[in-house]
Structure 1
Amino acid sequence: MIEPTYRGRGLSWVLVGRALDDMRTRSVKVSNYCTVVRQFVELNPEYGDLLDLPRPA
């Protein structure tokens, strides 16, 4: 969660992108339960292969 004083700066997108990049290097799949992650992957489809589709959000 982003502290209220830091909201609106795009930091959640940076956090999600870096986390997904790390998961890719470790060959880990992601079960997505977060709307921010869902929106990020929708706008950055190159991360779609990391989602564990049998258990989507």
Structure 2
Amino acid sequence: GFLFASLSQEFRFASLSQGFRFSSLSQGFGFASLSQGFRFSSLSQRFGFASLSQAFKFASLS
């Protein structure tokens, strides 16, 4: 009985640590997608700024 209790506690601790590992892993994915979103927004802003400056250049040229 005591052996079974300590064994079930080990299983509980193992599943609990796996839960923490999964949550930290999913948070890592969330952070990665968030940083990719920031990278994508800054990249699209850069493209927007480039096309805007090209439009100004075209307007001043014409």
TM-score band, normalised by the shorter chain?
Answer: 0.3 to 0.5
Q: Which has the higher contact order (CA 8 A, sep 6+)?
A: 1
What is the TM-score of this pair, normalised by structure 1?
A: 0.35
Which has the higher Rg, Structure 1 or Structure 2? Answer: 2
State TM-score, norm by structure 2.
0.32
